[in-house]
Amino acid sequence: MAGSNGAMFRHKVAASVVAVRRSGGISTFEQLNNYILYSEMLMPTSNYWNIIHGARPGEALQDKEGVQIMRILGKNMAWLMKLVENGKDKVAEPEKEDKIGMNFIR
């Protein structure tokens, strides 16, 4: 079983970012994170969920907390990408294992 993307994104740095008008951001954020996790991607964090609010173009910039979250996320993402790039020749990448599928119906 090869996985959803054939390991194309394995060990790439990725972050989920959600922009919403009011609600639904957390469940969307969690689902996007699930894809990152089961693709063996590396995920930087921020100081809260990566969700920003606004209804019209430019309104999200008024969400001061959301803007801070995105700024911190960007800094942490850039830092993690630099760590990965600078560590490639110093630390061996873990060996890829083929996915084992399990069927619980007997």
Q: What's the DSSP call for residue 22?
A: S
**CA proximity to 55, closest of 101, 8, 98, 20:** 20
Confidence label for 1 from pLDDT (cuts 50, 70 and 90): very low
Q: Higher pLDDT residue, 104 or 30?
A: 30
Query: What would the pLDDT profile of 78-96 be if each residue is shown by its tens digit?
Result: 999 999 999 999 999 999 9
